[in-house]
Amino acid sequence: MTEPLDDVEGRVWRALARALVVVPRDLETDLQRESGLTLGEYQVLVILSESPERRCRMTELASLVGLSASRMTRLIAALTARGDTTRMRDGCDRRGMSAVLTDAGFARLERAYPAHLTSVRARVLDPLRAVDAEALAAALEELAGPIPQLKG
Q: Please give the domain boundaries of the chain with CATH numbers for all domains.
A: 7-128 (1.10.10.10)
**For 112-123, what is each residue's pLDDT tens digit?**
999 999 999 999
pLDDT (tens digit per residue) in 56-97: 999 999 999 999 999 999 999 999 999 999 999 876 666 789
In this predicted structure, what is the pLDDT of residue 99? 97
**pLDDT at 133 (0 to 100):** 86
- Phi-psi group of 19: left, alpha or beta (phi > 0 → left; psi -120 to 50 → alpha; rest → beta): alpha
CB 77 within 8 Å of CB 91: no
d(CA 84, CA 76): 9
Check pLDDT > 80 for residue 148. no
**What is the distance between the alpha carbons of residues 101 and 63, in angstroms, rounded to a whole number?**
17
Mean pLDDT to the nearest integer, 119-128: 95
Over range 30-50, report the average pLDDT. Answer: 96
